[in-house]
Structure 1
Amino acid sequence: MTLIREFVGLWLLIVLFACHNQPNDMVSFNRDIRPIFNAKCLRCHGGVKANGDLSLLFEEDAFKPTQSGYPAIVPGKSQQSQLYKRLIQKDPELRMPLENPPLTEQEIKLIGRWIDQGAKWEKHWAYIKPAPEVQPPAHVKDTSHFIGNDIDLFVLQKLGEKGLSPNPKADPGTLKRRLFLDLTGLPPNQSELEKYFSAESPHSIEDLVDSLIASPHYGERWASMWLDLARYADTKGYEKDQNREIWRFRDYVIDAFNADKPFDQFSIEQLAGDLLPNPSEEQLIATAFHRNSMSNDEGGTDDEEFRIASVIERVSTTYEVWQSTTMACVQCHSHPYDPFRHEDFYRSMAYFNNAEDRDNYNENPKLATYYHENKEEAKSLIDWFYQNEPSELLPPRTGSLYDQRTALLDKLRFRSTEAENYSQSSPFIEIIWPDLDMLWQTQDSSWVKFEKVDLDQVEKIGFVAATELNYAGDISVHLDSLNGPEIGRTKITRTGHWNGWQGSKPSQKNLLREFKADIKQTSGQHDIYFRFWVGDTYIQHLFYLDKINYYEKNAPYLQLTQEGKNQLNKLFEIPTTNTPIIQELNTEHARKTFVFDRGSWLSPGEQVEEEIPNIFQENQEELPKNRLDFAHWLVSTDNPLSARVIVNRIWEQIFGRGLVETMEEFGTQGDLPSHPELLDWLADRLMYDYHWQLKPLVREIVLSGTYQQSSDIDSTKIELDPDNRWLSHGPRVRLSAEQIRDQMITISGLLNPSVGGPSVIIPDLKISDSQVPKWALTDPENYFRRSLYIFWKRTDPYANLITFDSPDRTVCTSRRIRTNTPLQALNLLNDETYLQASYALAKKMHFYKTYEAQIKEGYFLVTGQKASEQKLKSLKNLYEFATEKYQNQEIPEIIKEEIKDQSNQNELAALTLVANVLFNMDEFVVKK
C-alpha cells in the first residue's frame, strides 16, 4: 500500500510538473519569433523589400510559394521549410541572413520549434481588442496600506514579480503641489493650502481633486497636450509663415476638456464635425484640427502639390493621434515592420481628399464668428430689429448669431445689380491673385468706366474698391463719356493709409472702400464714368476690386428708420474672427484618389476608394464609407487602439512615462506595455464605465496609492527600477516649458488668469535671423497670460518655451523628449519674464521685517515646503553677499530697470537675486 501511494504521488508530481512547464515549451510568435524577424529578416523580407518573393511581415505572404516554387514555411515540418533550411546552411552564399551575421543557435532552435508546433501566426498585441474579461488581480497582499483603488492591485502584483515594494505616501506639501500641477498646471496659493491641508481642515483629498478637476484651469492644462498633437500654431508655416486666425480651435479644446466632452464625441467633431446633421458653430470650429496643417504662400509654388501634401499629413497625423501608428512611411512603400500595405495609406487618404481647402492664400472655407466679448452686443442689436422694424423688411431669424447678422445685412443693405463690363484709364499693370484682380494706375489720370448700366429707378450708384487714402477729395460721376454731363458727386474722406506696394498681397481689411454717390434721376442704359479728384489732380493709385453696384430706388434700406440705419451700421462694424474649417466638396466635384508611386503626387497609379487597413477589418460588419463613418470607427469599441492610446497619453502626462513608453508607436517596433492588463482594464473602463469621459479616469489615477507614493528612491529601486517603469515610487519629472513659466508668473503674482481669447504676442529675447515678418507686441496687460495663449509662430517660436523642449508644431508631436542643458539654467536666470517675476516675488518677500523671514517666505511660496537649515543658510549668505556688493558696485542694469522707482534699491536688488535663484532650484522646476 505504501508503495502504491508513493507511485501515485510520483505520478501526480510528474503530471503537475508537465502541466506547469507546458506553456514554457510552447513558442509564442509575438514573444519569441516576431522580434527575431523584425531584427534580422524584415530588412530584406518585409514591407519595403520582398526578396525571393518572401515577406515575413504579412501572414498570407509568409506561407505562399516563393520564387523557388516552394513555400518558405511548412507548418509542422521545419525540415521541409525553406526558411529553416536556409538558416542552418553552412555555405555563406546560401545561408540567411545573406551577408550578415547568422542567427544564434538559440534563435534558430526557436524558429524550428515554432514551425514544428504548427507555425501559429499571432496578431501584434496592439491590434487585438482589449479583453473585457480582464479584472484586477485578487489576493494581492498589501502589507503597507498602499492600495487606494483597483489600479494599485495591478501595480502591486507587478512589483512583487520584480522583487520591489511600493513607497510610503508622499508628505502633504509634496502631494498637494503634485495634484495642483497635474490637474491645473498651476501651483497652489496660500488660501488653497490652508483650506485643504491645515490640521483643522474638514476637507479630504477627494474634495481637493474634485475642486481642481472643476477648475477652469483644468481645461487649459490638458489642452496643452492636445495642441501638441493637433500641431496647433498661429501661423501657416513654410517660408512666408503668414498669420492664421485659428485661436477659436484652441478655445474649443479648452472648453471641451473643461466640460468633460466624451472623447469619442470630441474626436468625431474634430475629424468630421462638418458632416454631422445640422452642425453647430462649435462642431464646425472643431474641424480646424486638420486646418492646422501647414500651407505654402511662397510665390511660384503649385497649390495642388501643397494641397496634397496637407492631405497626406492629415492621414499620418490621424493615425498617430488616435492609433499611435507610424503611417508616414506607408506613403512611399508598405510599412517595414507592421502589417500596413502601401495601398492602405491611399485608401485612408480617400477619406480626407475631398475637403474644400486648396492651399490658397485666403484659406477658405472659413467660419465667421463673433468674439466672446461682442456676442451680447450683436444679439442686442439683432433683437432691436425684430422688435422695432416692420417684419416684412426682415429675413426669418434662424441659424447662429453670425448667420442672423449676415441675413440681416444681406436683406437690409442696398439691393444691387452688377454692371456687365468695365474698363479703366490706361496704361495700367494688371496683377492677378487667386481670389481677386487688382488694377494699379500709374499716371496722374484715374477713372473707371462701367458699360451699359440700366439707370431706370436708380437714385444711388457706387462700387467697392481699394485705394491709397492718405488724402481727401471728390468722385464725380459722368454720363456717356469722361467729359459728359456730371450726374453726381461725392466726397472722399481721409480714413487711413496703406504703406505702398510691398511685393505681396495687401490687406483687404485695410484697403477696401465703398464709393457711392447720389445721382440725378436718369433713364435708359448708359456708360458711367467715375473720375477721382484731389484738389485739381487725380488720385494716382486705384485698385479695382468689385464690379459696379447700382442701387434700386425701393431698397429695404431706404425704408428703415434713421435709428434702424444707425443700428445696421453698428451691427456691420462689430468685429468678427474667421476660423479656417473643413468642409466637404459636393458629390459632383468629388476628387479621385490614386496610389502615388513612391509617394510622389506626380506619379499616380491605381485609383482607390475609401477603406480602412485590412488588419482592422476583421469582425467589421460594414466598412466606413466616408469621413464621418471613419471617425465613428476610430472611436468605436471595435477599434483595438483608440481607448488604449488616450489612456496611455493621460497616464504619461501624470507619471512622466506611459504604460507604453513609445507614445507615438504601438507597432512592433514600439515598447511593450509595462502593465498590459492594467492598460486594457483602464481602456475598457474608459469605454464602458466612463462612456469615454476623461475626468473620471484622471480622478481614478490621481486617487490611487500608486500616484500618491513618495518619489524618493533607494539603491534597490535605482538598480531594479531606474526609470520607474514598474511604478515603485511616485512621479518625479521636470515640468513642461509652459508649467515652468506659468508657475513663475503665478507665484510672483503677475498671472493674468483670464481664460480663452486671441493669442498674445509678448517680448522675446531671441535674436532671429528669420526673414519672415517680425512680431508686433500685444497690450502689456496680456504679457502675463498663461503660456498656452502665447502667439505660436512656427518659424520663430517663443524662445523660452523652445529651450525647455516645446515642439515647433510643424508636425504632430506625441511626446516631448526632456533634455537637460546649461542653456535652460541660463534662461531661468536671465530671461526678461523671469527677472520681472523675480522682482515681483522680491516685493512680496519684502513685506516681512527681517531678511531671514523674507527668505523663508520666498522659499515656501516657490516650493510649498519649509527651507532646511542648510538651504536657508546658503540663501542668507547669497543675500548678504549681494547686499554688500550692491553697496559698493552698480546694480546690474537688467535688475536696476525693475527697481528704479524704489527707495531701498540695494535690499530689493538682493532679494530679486535670491528670488531668481529660488526660481532656478530643482525643487521649482521638478514635480516630485
Structure 2
Amino acid sequence: MLHIPRLNSLLPVALLLGVLACNAPSRSPVNQEGRVPDIVDYNFHVRPILSDKCYTCHGPDANKREAGLRLDIADSAYKLLKETPGTHAIVPGKPLESQVYLRISSSDTAIKMPPPSSNLQLSTYEIKVIEKWIQQGAKFKPHWAFVPPEKPALPEVTDQQWPRNDIDRFVLHKMEEVGLKPNGLADQERLLKRLCYDITGLPPSLEEMTRFAADTSAAAYEKMVDQLLQKPTFGEKMAIHWMDVARYADSHGYQDDNYRTQWPWRDWVIHAFNTNMPYNQFITWQLAGDLLPGAGPEQLLATGFNRNHKITEEGGVIDEEYRVEYVSDRTNTFGKSLLGITMECAHCHDHKYDPFSQKEYYELYAFFNNVKEVGLESTVGGPETYAKKPLMEITKADLKGVLSFINQQDSNRLIVSIMGDQDSVRKTYILGRGNYDAHTEEVVPGTPHSILPFDTKAYPSNRLGLSQWLFDKRNPLTARVFVNQMWQEIFGRGIVKTSGDFGMQGELPSHPELLDWLAVDFENNGWNIKRLIKQIVMTATYRQSSVIEKEKLKRDPDNVYLSRAPRFRLPAELIRDLVLESSGLLNHSIGGPSVKPYQPKGLWELASSGRGQLATYIQDHGDKLYRRGLYTLIKRTVPPPSMMIFDASNRDQCEVKRLTTNTPLQALIMLNDPQVLEASRVLAARLLEDNSNTTDKIVKAFRLITCRTPVEKEVKLLQEYYEDQQKEFRQQPVMAAKVLAVGEYPLPAKGDLPVLAAMMQVVTTIYNLEETISKS
C-alpha cells in the first residue's frame, strides 16, 4: 500500500533541495570545431567525419555502395574512379586533384558531396581537416582499437604539484591542452562517502567517519582505501557490474520463465573478487574452467558464466532453433563483454561498419557450438528443472571443502548449469541470413583477423585456446576493455564512452594515451584488479570536489576532461543498500539464494504463464527482507519494479553500461516504497532510544544517511518540521498509527507513537534529498 505524504510534509524536502541543489547542466557538446590540429590523424580526426558523412554510400556495405567508391580503405580511395575516368577520389598530397575534397568543398549542388538530398553536410572545420589530411599525405591507419597498446611516455604538465600518481599526469595534460584547471580537493566527508560507495557499495559507518576525520596523518586516505579493499563487501560491490555483464538472473526466461538455481555461481564471483583473483584467471575459468587440466568443482562452477543465458521450457519449440540461439548468445556476450565489439552485427551478414565478416562470426561461434546441450531439455517442472544439462551437483563435501564460500542455507539438492563439451566435434556452418537451418559453408574455430588471427599451432581449437588468444600480449582489446569498464564504474563514463563498442561506430577515447597506459600497466602487473582500483581512487583526479563552476559547465558540460569529480545517482542496488544499512536493517550475510522483498500485489501474476515455482509472488520474511540489492530475485519477465525504475538491468542480455534516466517515478519510490518507509520508521525508533536531545538525533540521522554533518540551517529546518509533525500527530493519533503501519519489522513495545511518527517523517525527508542517493 502506497503512503502518500501530505503536501506540508514535502515542503522541507523542497527547501533543502533548494539549499543544496546545483544548477542543471547544459547538454551542449564540447566544442570540437576549433583550430585544425597541426598533425591530422586519420583515426582521431578524419575517420569520424567520413564515418558520419560518407560511409552510408561509400563505406563497407557493398549493397549500398555508390559509384564503386569505398572510402574506408586506402586501395579503393586512391584508385581511378570508374564514373569519372582519369580522376581519383584521393591523391595524397594534392587536395585540388582529389575528387573528395573538390566535391565536399564545392558550392555547386550538382556535384556537391554529400548530396543535399541526404541532409548531410560537412562543416567548414571538417572540410579543412580533410584538406589538411590530404596535404599531409592522406595516410590511412588501422582502427586505433585493433592496434596493440604500447605504454606511452608520461606527458609533460605545467602544474607539477597536482598529480599524485602517473594517471593524473595524463588527465592534467589533457586539461591544460583545452584550457581547464582541476577542482580543489573534496572535503573529507564527501570524499569518504564516494570512496565507500565505489569500493564496498555501502555508506561509511559513524565510526569510520569519526576515525577518518580524526586521522590527520599523510597516510590516512591510503589507509582507508586499503581497509575498504579488504572488506568482503568489496566482492559484492564488484559483482553487481559482473551480473549485468554475465546476464545473470534467477529464472530461465521466455514465456514460462521458471526458477533456476544459478546463484552458487554468483557466490563464486563474489569470492573471486574478494580473493583478488587475477583477471586473466577470472575470465579463463569462466570461459573454459571445464577444459583446464585436472579441473575441480571450483573451475567447473566458474563456467556457469556461459550458462546464464535464457533457456526455453516451452513445449512445441524447434529444438535446434533454440540451441543455435544459446550459442549465438554466448558468442555475442563474448564479443561485447570481453572484446568491446558488436560482433552480433555479423550474425546475418558481413558487419556494416567494422571489418568482421559473417564467416568470422561463425568461426568465433564455433568455439561455443560443441556444448552438450539441447534447445529444449524439459518443460516446466519441479526442482530437477532448476538447472539444465550439462550441470553439476554441489555436494556436502564440496561445501565443506573447496566450495566453502557458497552460502547454502538449506538442505535442498543444489544443482548449477555449467559448460561441458560433447566428445565428438559438432560441425559449424555459416547460417544464411542467420537462420538456424540454413547451413552454407562449413567453418572451423577462428577469430577476427583484424583483431588477432587465431594461431592453431599456438592454441588448441577450443574454448581454452580462445581464452589463451584473449590474453595473448598481441591482443589489442582485452586489457583496454576491462580497464575502461572499471574507469566507467568509478567515474560514471568510460575513457571510451561506448564501453560495449570499441569499433568504428563507437566513440573515440577521450584520453587515448591514458587508456593505453592503464591497459599495459594492468597486464604487466599480473592483471591485478584490486591494484587497478586502488590506482584510480588514489589519484588527485578522483579526489577532486564535484562543485561545478559556470565556466567549466559551459566549456565541458559532460566533464569529459575530468576537471571536477562527477556527480551521478547511485545504482539501483546501492540505493536499496544505503537505506537498509543506514537504518540498521541490513542483513550482512554474504552470498546465498536470491530473495523476494516487498512488491506491489498482483504485478507479478500479470506477466506470469501460471506454471512453475515463479507463477505467483511469495514474499520472503524475516532477515531475508533485508538483504543487499545484489541478492534481489530477478525474474526476467517481471524484474524487480523499484530497481527497474532506477535503471537496473532486466538481464535479458549482456550489458556493460546501464542507461541513466530521471523520472518522477524515482521520486515516488523514495517517498512511498515500503522498504524506505520501514527503514525510516526503524531508524526513527533507534534514534529515540538514544539518550540525547532532538538536535543530536537529527544530526545523527543526517550523518548516517547523507554521510556528512548538516549545517545549522538544515538542522533548523528539520527540527521545525519535526515539531510541526509532532503537533499534527498528537491531534490525529489515528494518522500516526497509520503512518507507522508499514513493513514487518516490529514496532517498539513501548513508545510515544506521535513522537515516533514525527521522527519517521524527518528521516523520510532526509532519504528524499537528491544528495542522499548521489555518489558525490
TM-score, length-scaled by structure 1? 0.72
Aligned equivalent of 2:589: 754
2:669 and 2:443 map into 1 onto residues whose CA distance is: 52
Deviations 1:97-125 (A, max 9, x none): 45425656765665566456544211121
Aligned equivalent of 2:727: 884
For 1:193-208, list aligned pairs within 5 A: 193-199=209-215, 204-208=220-224
1:366 and 1:67 map into 2 onto residues whose CA distance is: 59
Aligned equivalent of 1:569: none
Aligned equivalent of 2:17: none
Is the contact made by 2:348 and 2:431 (CA closer than 8 Å) also made in structure 1? yes
Instruction: Report whether the alignment pairs 1:776 with 2:613.
Output: no
Aligned equivalent of 2:631: 789
Aligned equivalent of 1:43: 56
Instruction: Report whether the alignment pairs 1:704 with 2:506.
Output: no
Q: CA deviation at 1:923?
A: 2.4
Instruction: Report whether the alignment pairs 1:370 with 2:215.
Output: no
Q: CA deviation at 1:911?
A: 0.8
Q: In 2 relative to 1, CA 215–83 (structure 1 residues): closer, same or farther, beyond 3 Å?
A: same
Q: In 2 relative to 1, CA 56–853 (structure 1 residues): closer, same or farther, beyond 3 Å?
A: same
Q: In 2 relative to 1, CA 163–114 (structure 1 residues): closer, same or farther, beyond 3 Å?
A: closer
Q: In 2 relative to 1, CA 731–579 (structure 1 residues): closer, same or farther, beyond 3 Å?
A: same
Q: In 2 relative to 1, CA 692–601 (structure 1 residues): closer, same or farther, beyond 3 Å?
A: same
For 1:342-741, list aligned pairs within 5 A: 342-359=358-375, 360-361=377-378, 362=385, 363-370=388-395, 375-376=399-400, 575-587=412-424, 590-617=425-452, 625-688=461-524, 690-741=525-576
Is the contact made by 1:663 and 1:815 (CA closer than 8 Å) also made in structure 2? yes
Aligned equivalent of 1:836: 678
The root-mean-square deviation of aligned C-alpha atoms, in Å, is 2.9
Query: Which of residues 301, 305, 314 in structure 1 aligns to 2:317?
Result: 301
Query: Which of residues 678, 692, 712 in structure 2 aligns to 1:869?
Result: 712
Q: What is the one-letter code of the residue matched to 1:873?
A: K
Is the contact made by 1:368 and 1:577 (CA closer than 8 Å) also made in structure 2? yes
Aligned equivalent of 1:56: 71
Q: CA deviation at 1:192?
A: 2.4
Give the number of aligned pairs.
Answer: 708
> Structure 1: which 5+ residue stretches go unaligned?
1-21, 380-399, 403-572
Deviations 1:707-743 (A, max 9, x none): 1112122222222232221111223221111111111
Q: What is the one-letter code of the residue matched to 1:891?
A: M
Deviations 1:290-316 (A, max 9, x none): 111111212221121111112112111
1:148 and 1:109 map into 2 onto residues whose CA distance is: 39
Q: Name the SS for the 1:364 alignment partner.
A: coil
Q: What is the one-letter code of the residue matched to 2:522?
A: L
Is the contact made by 1:371 and 1:576 (CA closer than 8 Å) also made in structure 2? no
> Structure 2: which 5+ residue stretches go unaligned?
1-34, 379-384, 405-409, 610-614
1:123 and 1:799 map into 2 onto residues whose CA distance is: 45
Q: CA deviation at 1:761?
A: 1.9
Q: Name the SS for the 2:684 alignment partner.
A: helix
Is the contact made by 2:432 and 2:440 (CA closer than 8 Å) also made in structure 1? yes
1:640 and 1:716 map into 2 onto residues whose CA distance is: 37
Is the contact made by 1:47 and 1:341 (CA closer than 8 Å) also made in structure 2? no
Query: Which of residues 856, 860, 863 in structure 1 aligns to 2:703?
Result: 860
Is the contact made by 2:203 and 2:581 (CA closer than 8 Å) also made in structure 1? yes
Q: In 2 relative to 1, CA 64–354 (structure 1 residues): closer, same or farther, beyond 3 Å?
A: farther
Deviations 1:878-927 (A, max 9, x none): 21221111112222625235648443111001111111111111221111
Q: CA deviation at 1:148?
A: 1.7
2:269 and 2:334 map into 1 onto residues whose CA distance is: 16
For 1:106-125, list aligned pairs within 5 A: 111=130, 114=133, 118-125=137-144
Deviations 1:151-179 (A, max 9, x none): 22222222222222222222211111111
Q: What is the one-letter code of the residue matched to 2:399?
A: K
Aligned equivalent of 2:754: 906
Is the contact made by 2:766 and 2:772 (CA closer than 8 Å) also made in structure 1? yes
Q: In 2 relative to 1, CA 23–111 (structure 1 residues): closer, same or farther, beyond 3 Å?
A: closer
Q: Which has the larger radius of gyration?
A: 1
Q: CA deviation at 1:370?
A: 3.1
Q: What is the one-letter code of the residue matched to 2:290?
A: D
Moved more, 62-71 or 176-185: 62-71
Query: Which of residues 121, 129, 145 in structure 2 aligns to 1:126?
Result: 145
Q: What is the one-letter code of the residue matched to 2:579?
A: M
Q: CA deviation at 1:800?
A: 1.6
Q: In 2 relative to 1, CA 52–295 (structure 1 residues): closer, same or farther, beyond 3 Å?
A: farther
Q: Name the SS for the 1:30 alignment partner.
A: helix
1:804 and 1:771 map into 2 onto residues whose CA distance is: 23
Instruction: Report whether the alignment pairs 1:922 with 2:770.
Output: yes
Is the contact made by 2:546 and 2:567 (CA closer than 8 Å) also made in structure 1? yes
Q: In 2 relative to 1, CA 201–35 (structure 1 residues): closer, same or farther, beyond 3 Å?
A: closer
2:177 and 2:153 map into 1 onto residues whose CA distance is: 18
1:57 and 1:237 map into 2 onto residues whose CA distance is: 41
Q: What is the one-letter code of the residue matched to 2:696?
A: A
Q: CA deviation at 1:855?
A: 1.3
Q: What is the one-letter code of the residue matched to 1:925?
A: I
- Which protein is richer in strand relative to its size? 1
Aligned equivalent of 1:820: 662
2:416 and 2:591 map into 1 onto residues whose CA distance is: 15
Is the contact made by 2:446 and 2:453 (CA closer than 8 Å) also made in structure 1? no
Moved more, 237-246 or 297-306: 297-306
Is the contact made by 1:842 and 1:908 (CA closer than 8 Å) also made in structure 2? yes
Identity %: 39
Q: CA deviation at 1:802?
A: 0.9
Q: Name the SS for the 2:165 alignment partner.
A: coil
Is the contact made by 1:828 and 1:920 (CA closer than 8 Å) also made in structure 2? yes
Deviations 1:422-461 (A, max 9, x none): xxxxxxxxxxxxxxxxxxxxxxxxxxxxxxxxxxxxxxxx
Instruction: Report whether the alignment pairs 1:225 with 2:241.
Output: yes
Is the contact made by 2:485 and 2:494 (CA closer than 8 Å) also made in structure 1? yes
Q: Name the SS for the 1:925 alignment partner.
A: coil
Q: In 2 relative to 1, CA 90–621 (structure 1 residues): closer, same or farther, beyond 3 Å?
A: farther
Is the contact made by 2:189 and 2:707 (CA closer than 8 Å) also made in structure 1? yes
2:456 and 2:78 map into 1 onto residues whose CA distance is: 27
Q: Name the SS for the 1:739 alignment partner.
A: helix
Q: In 2 relative to 1, CA 903–576 (structure 1 residues): closer, same or farther, beyond 3 Å?
A: same
Is the contact made by 2:698 and 2:719 (CA closer than 8 Å) also made in structure 1? yes
Is the contact made by 1:847 and 1:854 (CA closer than 8 Å) also made in structure 2? no
Aligned equivalent of 1:452: none
